[in-house]
Structure 1
Amino acid sequence: MADQPARTRIRTAVVGTGGIVTGAHLPAIAAHLDELELVAAVDIDQARLDAFHATATAIDGIGPVTGHTDLATMLATERPELVLLGTPPSLHHQQALAALAAGAWVWAEKPLCLTLAEFDDIAAAEGDDTGHGPYAAVVAQHRYGSGTTHARRLLATGELGAPRVAHCQTTWYRDTDYYAVDWRGRWATEGGGPTMGHGIHQTDLLLHLLGDWTEIRALAGRLVHDIESEDVSTALVRFADGTIATVVNSVLSPDQVSRIRIDCDDATVELTHLYGHTNDDWRYTPRPGIDEDRVTQWRTNPDNTPSSHAAQLAGIIDAFRAGTRPPGSGDDARRTIELNAALYKAAFTGRPVHAGEITAGDPYYTAMHGNHPDWAPAPATEEQQ
């Protein structure tokens, strides 16, 4: 049989060359150089762009990377097929629309956008599900890793019994210097506080494991930091299968931890980590009387893939090759944004919010603060304008 021709690598570009791109996206690309060709990088800061170029081209297998300070110019001249967005959250909406219009698939850091209205804009700009894209997906790396895959299968097949009670915890610590960065803690640029900027990863993982939610009640506070958004939020969430969960998001917690716990009829499954997990971070505790062979199966995972950007990027590449919607996109990604919008609405209005309630015309559809007088930013004065 004649040798098959080498498959053309996917022309890839990064937008933003700060810490998250250099520290997470670039290693993910490097792990998939058989599939990806990094052709361009965009940053308005020339010095940062030059530093990224030096770091990237020092990696074996990454060839010349053309630097640009303008996204539109890069899209027109480089014609990337996949664009990775690692810019501040307020820029994702317009940058995703520009990349999709140029025919490129998009993989954006969380959050993909700041509101449900922006998400629906992006969804309207995608290719339909009968074609080959382009599509926009969000980084949700905690879904990807063998521990999550194993736990999700056990939950979906009923091996652990029906889920009843869950806990989702993102209790981190951020000091005043963290909020000295001008786009942080502001609704227009970050979209919210730890609910949107930190806890969204764990909340997304909870939804990935348990499925659709139906109702939420919540509280939020601005307890320490002098910012527009909250610095702590808590919620009670009811899922479609009846499971009741607590969700806690904080940047006030010196003992930092990320945790998911789901109590099922036959066992508790728990993940405890901080910024990423392996199989060793998952624990299965059976109820009394469970057969040891069954417990051994729960605790045995033949794969040991850590959660990572590289693990999710493998799924993006597979979807691109197949011309199918990628993981972390579409209704699945929207569900997480909707839950956060509902959390804010429930916290600020003091009443329960149901899935599907926030639609066009609802103030929480176009702004996470919902124009609530205690939370919306004050109008700019003439001097500020």
Structure 2
Amino acid sequence: MTRKLRVGVIGAGIAARHLAGFGWNKELFEAPVLCSLDEERGKALCEEYGIGEYTQDADALFARDDLDIIDISTPPSSHFELCRKGIESGKHVICEKPLFGSIAEVDEMGRILARYPGRKLMPIFQYRYGSGLQKLKLLIERGLAGKPFLTTIETHWWRGPDYYAVPWRGKWASELGGGLLGHAIHAHDMLNYVHGPCAEVFSYGATLVNPIEVEDTAALSVKMQNGSLATLSMTLGSRKEISRLRFCFNDLVAESIIEPYTMGRDPWTFVAGTEEHQARIDEVLAAYVPGEDGYTRQFELFHKAIVEDTDPPVTLQDARNSLELVTAAYFSQRTGQPTPMPIAADHPLYRSWLPAGEWRAAATV
């Protein structure tokens, strides 16, 4: 009999998508309680998803012994403390992106997890599980891609004044960063998911679209540890919203659809250099069996990891790779120099990439 895990949800914004993901896995999860400071939105979600309990007291969730998982869908600046409390209370934890506000916090969480064997923390990177990207992973595993050359990623979305009317958005202290951290982070994680960690980045960043504190436009040139190169562009000033990923290998080119928020899904195109190799690729793809994607698939895999006591499908190291790219990009923008990775404890931005004044202000809160 399948073990059903009980989830306490914190948040009432993106948490709705989490609840939909749990809902598609009804045999694996149930969510008996939701916590949100926004009573109107919180109670509305409880009604929509049949959640029996609503509270504004997050500590009440940590104190309960009938919950297996704490699901954190709150503004970024709260993530570390909520994750810490969740792990220390004996729960597994799911946390939305961006996971934390520094590489130092990621490393500290690693030390916390080491003190609580068996507890698992899973960062959210649900875009990995689209069928298009999964097909590319399959072709690479079968040895049909060849040597990687170049990846291009475009995250060109639109965010106007209404988006920043939410008080915590667009501010260093609460959102922790701009489009690189909160918007393009998914597509950039897909880069790491395919090619592994980055080795060096040169970046330009600017605030061009809205009168906010953080960047809304950026251009990055990246060297990967596997020897390939990548160019990444991000803007929140594109009236036509697109996301596009294009991977050039010796033996094929893989290109995503351009739907801005579902670019990992089919139909991707896979073009080989010869008819014979195209036939081999087409044969593998014809046998591919699509399944659930997005949050539904990531949560399904997390349940498996908990029951079998294996690593979660997205790990703390995956989040570190992602945040290293953000940290290095911010450092490059401020110094005008290429920035190598990984980011070690002696790096100037290891403890925070916030501008100095914002870091001091956040540290005193």
Q: Runs of 5+ in structure 2 lacking a partner? A: none
Alignment equivalent of 1:112, drawn from 63, 76, 99: 99
Q: Does 1:36 align with 2:35?
A: no
Q: How many residues align?
A: 361
Q: Distance in 1 between matches of 2:287 and 2:263?
A: 14
Q: Which residue of 2 aligns with 1:54?
A: 47
The change in CA–CA distance for 1:227 and 1:327 in structure 2 (over 3 A counts) is same
The change in CA–CA distance for 1:72 and 1:378 in structure 2 (over 3 A counts) is closer
Q: Distance in 1 between matches of 2:263 and 2:229?
A: 24
Alignment equivalent of 1:221, drawn from 206, 220, 244: 206
SS, match of residue 90 in structure 2: coil
Alignment equivalent of 2:64, drawn from 56, 73, 77: 77
Alpha-carbon offset, residue 207 of structure 1: 0.6
Which residue type is aligned with residue 93 of structure 2?
V
1:195-214, aligned counterparts within 5 Å? 195-214=180-199
Q: Distance in 2 between matches of 1:298 and 1:268?
A: 15
Q: Distance in 2 between matches of 1:169 and 1:306?
A: 25
Deviates more, 1:210-219 or 1:300-309: 300-309
Q: Which residue of 1 aligns with 2:233?
A: 248
Alignment equivalent of 1:321, drawn from 307, 331, 355: 307
Q: Which residue of 1 aligns with 2:260?
A: 274
Q: Which residue of 2 aligns with 1:238?
A: 223
SS, match of residue 246 in structure 1: strand
Q: Which residue of 1 aligns with 2:144?
A: 159
Task: Tell which structure's C-alpha radius of gyration is larger.
Answer: 1
**Does the CA-based 8 Å contact 2:253-2:271 persist in structure 1?**
yes
The share of aligned pairs that are identical, in percent, is 28
Q: Distance in 1 between matches of 2:264 and 2:164?
A: 30
Alignment equivalent of 1:284, drawn from 270, 281, 291: 270
Alpha-carbon offset, residue 127 of structure 1: 4.1
Which residue type is aligned with residue 240 of structure 1?
Q
The change in CA–CA distance for 1:378 and 1:150 in structure 2 (over 3 A counts) is closer
Alpha-carbon offset, residue 289 of structure 1: 5.3
Which residue type is aligned with residue 12 of structure 2?
T
**Does the CA-based 8 Å contact 2:135-2:288 persist in structure 1?**
no
Alpha-carbon offset, residue 300 of structure 1: 2.7
**Does the CA-based 8 Å contact 1:89-1:114 persist in structure 2?**
yes
Alpha-carbon offset, residue 155 of structure 1: 2.2
Q: Distance in 1 between matches of 2:345 and 2:145?
A: 39
SS, match of residue 285 in structure 1: strand
The change in CA–CA distance for 1:306 and 1:39 in structure 2 (over 3 A counts) is closer
Which residue type is aligned with residue 42 of structure 2?
L
Alpha-carbon offset, residue 277 of structure 1: 4.5
Which residue type is aligned with residue 284 of structure 1?
F
**Does the CA-based 8 Å contact 1:16-1:86 persist in structure 2?**
yes
Q: Distance in 2 between matches of 1:370 and 1:377?
A: 5
Which residue type is aligned with residue 264 of structure 1?
F
1:1-385, aligned counterparts within 5 Å? 6-18=1-13, 20-22=14-16, 24-57=17-50, 65-77=52-64, 79-127=66-114, 131-132=117-118, 134-272=119-257, 273-277=259-263, 280-288=266-274, 290-297=276-283, 299-305=285-291, 307-356=293-342, 358-371=343-356, 377=358
The RMSD of aligned alpha carbons is: 2.2
SS, match of residue 313 in structure 2: coil
Q: Distance in 1 between matches of 2:341 and 2:360?
A: 31
Which residue type is aligned with residue 25 of structure 1?
H
Q: Distance in 1 between matches of 2:291 and 2:74?
A: 27
Q: Distance in 1 between matches of 2:94 and 2:331?
A: 28
Alpha-carbon offset, residue 139 of structure 1: 1.0
The change in CA–CA distance for 1:278 and 1:197 in structure 2 (over 3 A counts) is closer
Alpha-carbon offset, residue 293 of structure 1: 1.7
SS, match of residue 83 in structure 1: strand
Q: Distance in 1 between matches of 2:219 and 2:284?
A: 31
Which residue type is aligned with residue 252 of structure 2?
A
